[in-house]
Amino acid sequence: MEADCGHIYTRLHAHEKARKLDFSPTRKREKRREKRRKGEVFAVMPIDIECSVSNGLVPNMTSCRDFILCINGKMVRRIPCANGLLFDTTIGMCNYEHVVSCGERPMQGFQKCYVVKVNVTIIVENSITEPKFTLKTSVYAQRQPLYYFLLMAAGKDSRFSFNTTKIDDYGEFVLSFNGLVGSEKIFTVWIPSDRRDTGIKQGIHEFYPEDKEVITYKYYSFSDGLNDENFPYPNVDNIVK
């Protein structure tokens, strides 16, 4: 009498089918070994995770698909760009591939992205109240929002330590430097200007300094003749809380 092996085949076939549908790490490793045996070569992209700046954003120089956030010289977060975007080293944020500096080259290559570095001088002046002071420092780093240049300046010299306040929907602005805060009684405020002595109306997260930029923060008082025409902020009532 012939043996009925149909049930054995069915079980073996079901086991093989289940194995192919297995997405476990063990099965993934088996698939990679199978590809290597068959001569199928696939690239594994290295990832840059070193902070080249103390505080700020650093692109993954291999692919520009993501970037890292550095605080005090250490990586605190890795942030990927969405599909179709690359980290634009010029503006310090994710942008469309066709407009960024490394969008033209093949992503399988190992050519480093071109990082634009700028030299920014920051001056803080208080000639109104005692103790009067003038602070000056320069920061050389990749181009990024003013906020990060201020952070790096404070890292070099604690007298540049600052606090900020948000003004409506216009952005974040500096409220104090070196412990000197704007006063509600004699309405004083820190006002930034660029190297052309033009008031900066953008928030510190929106303004990107150019190379050889000079950012000057002056401590002003409205009692000294400051008026709305040369006052750069959108709503003066919301500056000092």
Mean pLDDT taken over the chain: 72
Q: Is 197 exposed, middle or buried (0-12, 13-18, 19+ CB in 10 A)?
A: exposed
Mean pLDDT of 37-61: 58
Q: Mind listing the pLDDT tens digit for each residue in 146-164?
A: 999 999 999 999 999 999 9
Query: Who contacts 150 (Cβ-Cβ below 8 Å, separation ≥6)?
Result: 122, 160, 162, 174, 204
Q: Give the pLDDT confidence score for residue 113 in this predicted structure.
A: 53
Q: What is the pLDDT of residue 220?
A: 86
Cα–Cα dist 195/107, whole Å: 39
Interior/surface letters 206-240, b for 16+ CB within 10 angstroms, e for the rest: ebbbeeebbbbbbbbeeeeebeeeebebeeeeebe
pLDDT in tens, 84-103: 787 877 777 787 776 676 54
Q: What domains does the chain contain, in order, with CATH numbers? A: 56-115 (2.170.140), 118-238 (2.170.130.30)
Give the predicted TM-score (pTM) of the model: 0.51
Q: What is the pLDDT of residue 91?
A: 75
If one compares 119 and 241, the residue with the highest pLDDT of the two is 119
Query: Which residue from 223, 158, 216, 229 is spatially nearest to 190, judged by alpha carbons?
Result: 216
